[in-house]
C-alpha cells in the first residue's frame, strides 16, 4: 500500500493574505510531495508496508527515514485539512470544552502561540486530545504527538513552524505568522478531529 498526496480542497492562493500562494505551492508540491515519496520508498518491503500511518508513527524506535517522512506525511495532511479560506466558526459546544480546560478561548490561543513561538528551530505546535482531555504541546522536526517520547495525545490541530512554512512572506516574524494562522483555522474540522479521537 502506497501513501498518496491528498488533493488540496482549495487553491494555492486561497489562503492569502495569511499564507501566500508561492509558499503554498512549494510547501505542498515540493515539501509534502517529497515526504510522501520518501515515506513510500522508506517503507517498501518492510513491516511498515501495509500499516496505517498512525500505526507506523506509534511504533517505537522508528528508522530515521520512516520517522521523518512518516511524520512529514501525516503532519501536513492534518495541516491542510484544518485550514480553510472560508473557515467555519467554532461551535459553542466545542468552545465550552476549550474554556473549561484553558479558562478562556483566548488563553488557549495564547498557550498554543507560545508553544509555536518557543519551539526552537523547526517543528510543530499542537492541540491534542489525550484520554478525552485537551492538551497543547510542540514537537521538533517532523515528530508527531503520536510518537514515543511525545505527549501521547491525538493531534487535532497543528501549526507548521518550519521556516519553509512562512519565510517567503514573514521572514523572521514567526509570531506574525502564528497570529495570521488563527484567521484560517477551520474549527469545524478541528471539532471533527476531536470527536473522532474520543
Ligand atoms: Mn512543512
In this prediction the pTM is 0.97
How many A from CA of 83 to the centre of ligand 1?
A: 14
The contacts found for 145-149 with CB under 8 angstroms, 24 or more apart, are 146/54, 146/57, 146/58, 146/74, 147/57, 147/58, 147/62, 147/67, 147/71, 148/58, 148/60, 148/61
Flag whether 188 is in a domain: yes
pLDDT tens track of the chain, all 198 residues?
A: 699 999 999 999 999 999 999 999 999 999 999 999 999 999 999 999 999 999 999 999 999 999 999 999 999 999 999 999 999 999 999 999 999 999 999 999 999 999 999 999 999 999 999 999 999 999 999 999 999 999 999 999 999 999 999 999 999 999 999 999 999 999 999 999 999 999
Flag whether 6 is in a domain: no
Give the number of domains in the chain: 1
Flag whether 100 is in a domain: yes
How many A from CA of 82 to the centre of ligand 1?
A: 14
Q: Could you tell me the CATH number of the domain that includes residue 131? A: 3.55.40.20
What is the residue range of 77's domain?
Answer: 19-198
How many A from CA of 140 to the centre of ligand 1?
A: 12
How many A from CA of 37 to the centre of ligand 1?
A: 15
How many A from CA of 139 to the centre of ligand 1?
A: 13
Flag whether 183 is in a domain: yes
Flag whether 10 is in a domain: no
How many A from CA of 137 to the centre of ligand 1?
A: 17
Amino acid at each position: 500500500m502506497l501513501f498518496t498526496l491528498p488533493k488540496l480542497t482549495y487553491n494555492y492562493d486561497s489562503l492569502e493574505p495569511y499564507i501566500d500562494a508561492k509558499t503554498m505551492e512549494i510547501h505542498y508540491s515540493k515539501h509534502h510531495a517529497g515526504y510522501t515519496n520518501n515515506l513510500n520508498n522508506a517503507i517498501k518491503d518492510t513491516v511498515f508496508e501495509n500499516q496505517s500511518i498512525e500505526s507506523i508513527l506509534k511504533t517505537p524506535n522508528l528508522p530515521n527515514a520512516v520517522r521523518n517522512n512518516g511524520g512529514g506525511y501525516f503532519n501536513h495532511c492534518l495541516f491542510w485539512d484544518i485550514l480553510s479560506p472560508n473557515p467555519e466558526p467554532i461551535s459553542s459546544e466545542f468552545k465550552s470544552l476549550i474554556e473549561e480546560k484553558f479558562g478562556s478561548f483566548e488563553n488557549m490561543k495564547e498557550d498554543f502561540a507560545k508553544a509555536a513561538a518557543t519551539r526552537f528551530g523547526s517543528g510543530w505546535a499542537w492541540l491534542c486530545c489525550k484520554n478525552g482531555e485537551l492538551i497543547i504541546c510542540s514537537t521538533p522536526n517532523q515528530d508527531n504527538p503520536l510518537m514515543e517520547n511525545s505527549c501521547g495525545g491525538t493531534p487535532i490541530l497543528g501549526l507548521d513552524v518550519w521556516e519553509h512554512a512562512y519565510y517567503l512572506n514573514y521572514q523572521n516574524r514567526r509570531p506574525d505568522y502564528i497570529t495570521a494562522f488563527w484567521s484560517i483555522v477551520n474549527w469545524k474540522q478541528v471539532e471533527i478531529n476531536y470527536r473522532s479521537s474520543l
